[in-house]
Every structure is written in C-alpha cells, then in structure tokens.
Amino acid sequence: MTDEPLTPIPPAIRRRLICGNWKMNHTHFEAVQMIHHFSASITEEDLAAVEVSIHPPFTDLRSVQTVLESEKISVVLGAQHCYFEPKGAFTGEISPNMLAKLHVGYVIVGHSERRLILGQSDEVVAKTLRAVLAAGMSPILCVGESKDVRDSGGAQSHVMAQLRSALQGLSPALVQRCVVAYEPIWAIGTGVNASTMDAQEMCQVIREEIETIVGPGVGSGVRILYGGSVTPDNARSLCRQKDVDGLLVGGASLDGDSFAKVVKAAGR
Ligand code: 13P
C-alpha cells in the first residue's frame, strides 16, 4: 500500500460517478461482508463504465480500505463528513487529513441530515468544503430543498443560495475538483424520487449557476449528481439526463446486490 491518497483526478469529460452513502448503518464486520457481496455481484467492466465510491461510517473506513486495496476492487473510498480544523480539542470530530491518510477520495459535505438534524450551517459547510480540498480530496457538496420550499415555488432560489454560499470565492481549478449532489429533502428515504425532468432541470440550473458564481466554462467540467430514493429501477433513466452525471445513493447502497444493480444500470 502506498501512502498516497486516492485523490480523484478532475475528469476531462464528466465520468459518471455513483456514490453509496451508508449513513449510520453497518458495523465494520457488516461492511466487509457488504463489500465482498458487492464485488461478487459486479464485473470489472461494470466498474470501468462508471466511477464508484462507497461512504461507510468512520468506524468502518480502515476495514473497507484494507479490503478494497488488498483485493484490488475498483471502488474509491469515501467519507460522510469531517471537521474543518486540522487538529485540536474538538471531541468526537475527525480531521480531513485523518481521512486522506486512509486514502479517502471523496467526502460528502453538507448533507441535509447534517444540516437539519445536527445543525450544520452554510458557514460550516463552506469551511468544511475548503478543508476537504486543502487535504487533497474532493468534496461532494449536497444541496436541496424541503417540500415546503418546493411547494412555495422557492426550490431553485434555495438551492442557488446554498451553492453560492459554499462555492463563492473559490478558484475555477478548485471548483472543478468539487462534485455537487442535488438531493431534494422530500425525496430522501421516502420512496418518492424526483422525476427525471425535475432532476434534469435542477442539475442544469446548478451547472449554469456555477458559471455565474465562478466563471464561464467551469460548470461544464463539474459533475452534478442526483440523490433521493434512487433504486436499481430508476437509476438508468435518471443517469441518462443530460446534466445528471451520477447518483448519490442511500438505502439502495446498503446491500451488495442492490448497489451492484444500481451501478450496472447507471453504466448502461
Ligand atoms: P436514499 O437513497 O435512501 O433516499 O438516501 C439518499 C441520500 O440521502 C444519499 O445521500
């Protein structure tokens, strides 16, 4: 094993990215079982067609890293969160460098569950995003509106404000290393995914807004994912939208077989 983090290279073309966010599920024993199950359910060709990352809880990271690297499974290790300070008296937190040393490539930043349940502010999201970039990893910035906001017609302005607050002031080169995930809160864990039209529309608006915030030409190089009740059945149609460059998958990523089906569907 080298000491180099698995820093994802910014794609010249937007290679599809399928991320499994396990949230607070799976002990490290279950994690290893899941990875074995997943790798038995998928071929090298499937894994060459798209990029795949798996985001286990912190306690599973080292075990999952060891299995992925020793068995040469083409999956990038991901994390769900980190703190923005490099070290110090922050009981219970994990630094970006601790993740980079485990060869984590992608870190989810600003997931709606952290924003809503754990009180993560836009300011903390912006600082965390910068800290992840500084440690050589790529943030997956989550944005998305609640049902009330969507019903009142404010979905786009809400998402644009989240985007602006996180990306404003960053150089084009750094923004191109970011991934954005549009995850409407009303679609998370509900079994009601956004329609392909709604997902496409918001991802397109996000891409255009990146050009406004950061500069012309930048948005076309940034991968924008959709997340919220993704299943093996809807993965393909969501991924085939022009501005949807991949998926952030919760429930359907917990089981090796179902996540393999999502990855296969997304690569077709
Ligand atoms: P579900 O796929 O379970 O709806 O979760 C989506 C999500 O929050 C991924 O980050």
Which domains are present in the chain? 14-266 (3.20.20.70)
- Average pLDDT of the chain, as a whole number: 95
Question: Nearest C-alpha to atom 2 of ligand 1 is from which residue?
Answer: 250
Question: Ligand 1: does its nearest atom lie under 6 Å from the Cβ of 183?
Answer: yes
Residue 158 annotated in active site: no
**Tens digits of per-residue pLDDT, 219-265?**
999 999 999 999 999 999 999 999 999 999 999 999 999 999 999 99
Residue length of the chain: 268
> With bands split at pLDDT 50, 70 and 90, how would you rate the model's confidence at 13?
confident
Which amino acid, one-letter code, is at 161? A
CA of 189, closest atom in ligand 1: 4
Q: Please give the C-alpha separations between residue 266 and each of 40, 106, 218, in angstroms, as whole numbers.
A: 18, 19, 24
DSSP string, 36-60: HHHHHT--HHHHHHSEEEEE--GGG
Could you tell me the distance, in angstroms and rounded to a whole number, from the CA of residue 3 to the centre of ligand 1?
31
Question: Ligand 1: does its nearest atom lie under 6 Å from the Cβ of 215?
Answer: no
CA of 108, closest atom in ligand 1: 10
Q: At how many degrees (to 10) do helices 28-40 and 256-267 cross?
A: 40
- Choice among 51, 113, 145, 183 that is catalytic: 183
Question: Nearest C-alpha to atom 9 of ligand 1 is from which residue?
Answer: 250
Question: Ligand 1: does its nearest atom lie under 6 Å from the Cβ of 248?
Answer: yes
The SS3 assignment for 109 reads strand
Residues contacting 105, CB < 8 A, separation 6+: 5, 6, 7, 8, 53, 76, 77, 78, 137, 138
Q: What is the mean pLDDT of residues 120-139?
A: 98
Residue 93 annotated in active site: no
Question: Ligand 1: does its nearest atom lie under 6 Å from the Cβ of 229?
Answer: yes
Question: Ligand 1: does its nearest atom lie under 6 Å from the Cβ of 258?
Answer: no
Could you tell me the distance, in angstroms and rounded to a whole number, from the CA of residue 46 to the centre of ligand 1?
22
From 188, 193, 183, select the one nearest 143 (Cα to Cα). 183
- Choice among 26, 81, 111, 209 that is catalytic: 111
* pLDDT beyond 50 at 5: no
**Tens digits of per-residue pLDDT, 29-71?**
999 999 999 999 999 999 999 999 999 999 999 999 999 999 9
Q: What is the mean pLDDT of residues 180-194?
A: 97
- The pLDDT value recorded for residue 3 is 47
Question: Ligand 1: does its nearest atom lie under 6 Å from the Cβ of 251?
Answer: yes
Question: Ligand 1: does its nearest atom lie under 6 Å from the Cβ of 250?
Answer: yes
CA of 248, closest atom in ligand 1: 9
- The pLDDT value recorded for residue 12 is 56
